[in-house]
Structure 1
């Protein structure tokens, strides 16, 4: 090989290597943008019993344990060493939303409700409104077409149009006899 050809090949190889190395920064930033745009699926974590303001309002001093359970549901936490206390804890963790946590403690004396204390509970409507984080798109368009709007479209050919009511009445009624589900046994 000639000396000139060897030098030219090395120059081209060095230039190609330099171009590739210079492009690495661009590829890196593009791949970082792509990775940041693609996020893994994060599940919604719900733990405990949701207790609404309406349920707390239904509690009355002197209710039995069974009555309290009917109003609030089964407590999340019961303690063998403190059988006179039930704890209702509710947490929800959703991607992109601050976690919510609520707590209510119910205390019994002689198996009757003595008192209860805890966080200020939301109403059921407030809780549902906080769950719905979808963005509103504005006014919902009407889903019915006026006769003027329907007139803009060409009519269907006669073969595709609905049959007249007289043609429907002339058809035979459907058969009401069906074959047996199991084959008759031969004995």
Structure 2
């Protein structure tokens, strides 16, 4: 093939590739665009303490700060300017799902729980169900071996292996004598 044809074929291929790539850029978010086929991985961002409906139901007026902390956990925000107010904020940001945010506030008077208010908190089972909807990993395999699998995995004891170790010495026992640590002086 002459050199002129080789360069013209290379130029035509380069021109075709540029045309295809330029047309992909003008499709405006179409799924046909190869750029949309690959998306970057975004990690799940979890911030704060999740407060469940069950925990909120345990709150009673008159509880001490330690009792509230034992029930709800350490507050995310405790301000110096509002010493009698604890804010519990929980946010969850995941790829492909709307961000979730829950807020709950407890108010103290004379170190006793006076009142509490906030968003309607989901129960623990409801919250876990929301987390599980996004990812489908398939069926969980059976994690128990059958009798046939156990027998197949069992190694038959050979006569030569049992003859090498005397029956009086238990398996894993240390030898009766050890080699010298230092070589004999000559």
TM-score (norm 1): 0.67
How far apart, in 2, do the equivalents of 1:63 and 1:98 lie? Answer: 35
Aligned partner (choices 156, 160, 169) of residue 172 of structure 1: 169
Distance in 2 (CA, whole Å) between partners of 1:60 and 1:177 is: 68
**1:137 maps to which residue?**
138
Shift of residue 41, structure 1, vs aligned partner = 2.5
Q: Choose the corresponding residue for 1:161, options 150, 156, 165.
A: 156
User: Structure 1's 12 and 171: CA in aligned 2 closer, same or farther, altered over 3 A?
Assistant: same
Going from structure 1 to structure 2, the CA distance change for 1:84 and 1:18 (only over 3 Å counts) comes to same
Instruction: Provide, for residues 49-76 of structure 1, a one-character-per-residue CA deviation record: whole Å limited to 9, x for no partner.
Output: 1111111111111101111111111111
Question: Any runs of at least 4 consecutive aligned residues in structure 1 with deviations exceeding 4 A, and if so which?
Answer: 11-16, 27-30, 138-147, 176-179
More helix by share: 1
Cα 1:138–1:176 change in 2 (3 A) is closer
User: Which consecutive unaligned segments of at least 5 residues does structure 1 have?
Assistant: none
- In the alignment, what sits opposite 2:50? 50
Q: Write the distance in 2 (CA, Å) between the matches of 1:169 and 1:42.
A: 61
1:130: how far off? Answer: 2.0
Structure 1 residues 162 and 87: alpha-carbon distance in aligned structure 2, compared to 1, 3 A threshold: same
Structure 1 residues 169 and 13 mapped into 2: Cα distance closer, same or farther (>3 Å)? closer
Aligned to 1:24: 18
Structure of larger gyration radius: 1
TM-score scaled to structure 2, two decimals?
Answer: 0.67
**How much has 1:163 moved relative to structure 2?**
5.5
Query: Which residue number in structure 2 is paired with residue 69 of structure 1?
Result: 69
SS across alignment from 2:40: coil
What RMSD in Å do the two structures reach over aligned CA positions?
A: 3.9
Gaps of 5+ in 2: 26-32, 182-186
Q: When the two structures are aligned, how many residues end up with a matched partner?
A: 162
Give the Cα separation in 1 of the matches to 2:176 and 2:50.
Answer: 51
Aligned counterparts of 2:97 and 2:168: Cα–Cα separation in 1: 60
Q: Partner of 1:120 in structure 2?
A: 120
